[in-house]
Amino acid sequence: MNYDHITNVLPYTEPFLFVDELTEVTENGVVGTYTFLEDSYFYKGHFKDVPVTPGVILTECCAQIGVVCLGIYLLQNETNLPPRGMQRGMQIGMSSTQMEFLLPVKPNEKVTVTSKKIYFRFNKLKCSVKMHNTEGKLVCTGEISGMFKTSAHA
């Protein structure tokens, strides 16, 4: 299934967009992928001669796929706002995160993020997220919460 109606309204662009594809989206969760390309800006200094994806970037990838994409899907269904209106009138803020990092992610590595909704109420979404590498090994896991604000008149 094609989920361009979600990815097209993400409020991010290169070099800070960490969503390549969504493979599953339901009211209870999201599955998506991203490949960390070797020419990404953050590899130049993290770490010298042995590049590893910073944990904050892994967290951001999990947040974009697991919370923001799911939040857009839930808000589109709840408010019936057209995608373009959502893009102009949507504000997003991360409200909390708790992550555990288990394996490094190296340049050119593709990851899959799986998110499960814990709750969505009063425009606050809390999700359990997991990131796996192409070998199916768990890279990181945790919980991320975000707040969404929409305005139909923006």
Phi, psi of 27 (to 5 degrees): -70, -10
Token digits for 94?
Answer: 């991360």
**d(C-alpha 62, C-alpha 22), whole Å:** 12
- 153: annotated active-site residue: no
Short-list 65, 56, 82, CA closest to 29? 65
Residue 67 identity (one-letter amino acid) = V
**Strands laid side by side in the 29-36 sheet:** 21-26, 29-36, 109-121, 124-133, 138-150, 90-101
Catalytically active residues, by annotation: 46
